[in-house]
Amino acid sequence: MTRTFRQVDVFAPGPLPGNPVAVVHDAEGMSDSDMLSLARWTNLSETTFLLGPRSPEADYRLRIFTPAGELPFAGHPTLGSAHAWLEEGGEPRDAGALVQECEAGLITLRPTGGRLAFAAPPLTRYEDAVPEIRQAAVRCLRISPERVRSIRWIDNGPGWLGVLLRSAQDVLDLEPDMAAIDEKGLKLGVAGFFDAEAAPADIEVRAFVGSGDGPAEDPVTGSLNAGLAQWLMEQGLAPDRYVARQGTRLGRGGFVHVVREAGETWISGATRTVVSGHIDW
């Protein structure tokens, strides 16, 4: 069938790019194998498929595939797909928000400051890493243990292990052992704070996912930043409003805006359609 197709750049206001997501509209009738096959063909970190909702509370349903398989939730695909759905003429039930149904449940989105924001889903695993995992993460990152402030599971679907380093420069300097990350099956989200007044952001973030789910280092990652925000804010390590930069070492221009209001954490970023047309699949 011929279906409407968009490729949306997420989290970069320009001129450098952020993280692309491929969005397939009108995906009814596509099988799981069709979706996985197309995700492998686009060869992006995620390809999404828009379908009619099953929940009466949702505006649409989203399925999210990497080249390796389906994810219950992912951040930049959520923002990019909402952008594409609205651009194609989607009309939310509630004028001030829209509700996405995905494997992780219902995700609320809203416009804010010219950007789209999603409410961070609850963490499905949130606990300190045991010593064996801490040691494995340190070895994979090839960093001195003294540079590590904390390591904690912050999983909201993809399986993130959060690593907080002493500084943003420590994050930028990382040269991880990707083969070891693959071997251990870890997804490492690493963050460090800037301390200069004229810093480009409040926090530097990098995401290392191994080669099984696409690029070994993800350019800009909504789900990771959502988990990091919930962790760092709860521990009093980050303020209720901050900006994270990600993708610097990859030549990307990703900026993730984080706000906590009334106990909810919101993740927002720029979205823009770069490719639009039709796809035969």
List the beta bridge partners of residue 187: 160
Which residue in the list 28, 46, 101, 217 is annotated as catalytic? Answer: 46
Contact present, 41 and 24 (Cβ < 8 Å): no
Nearest to 79 by CA among 167, 132, 8, 166: 8
The CA-atom distances, in angstroms, between 216 and each of 70, 180, 229, 235 are 17, 12, 23, 29
Q: What DSSP string runs through 36-87? A: HHHHHHHTSS-EEEEE--SSTT-SEEEEEE-SS-EES--HHHHHHHHHHHHH
Q: Which two tokens stand for residue 245?
A: 């930069």
Between CA 188 and CA 177 the distance in angstroms is 12
In the residue annotation, 46 being an active-site residue is answered as yes
Beta bridge partners, 52, equal: none
Phi and psi, residue 241, nearest 5°: -150, 125
> Which tokens hold the place of 154?
């912050």
Report the DSSP pairing between strands 148-155 and 98-102. unpaired
Closest CA to 203 of 174, 232, 173: 232
By annotation, the residues acting in catalysis are 46
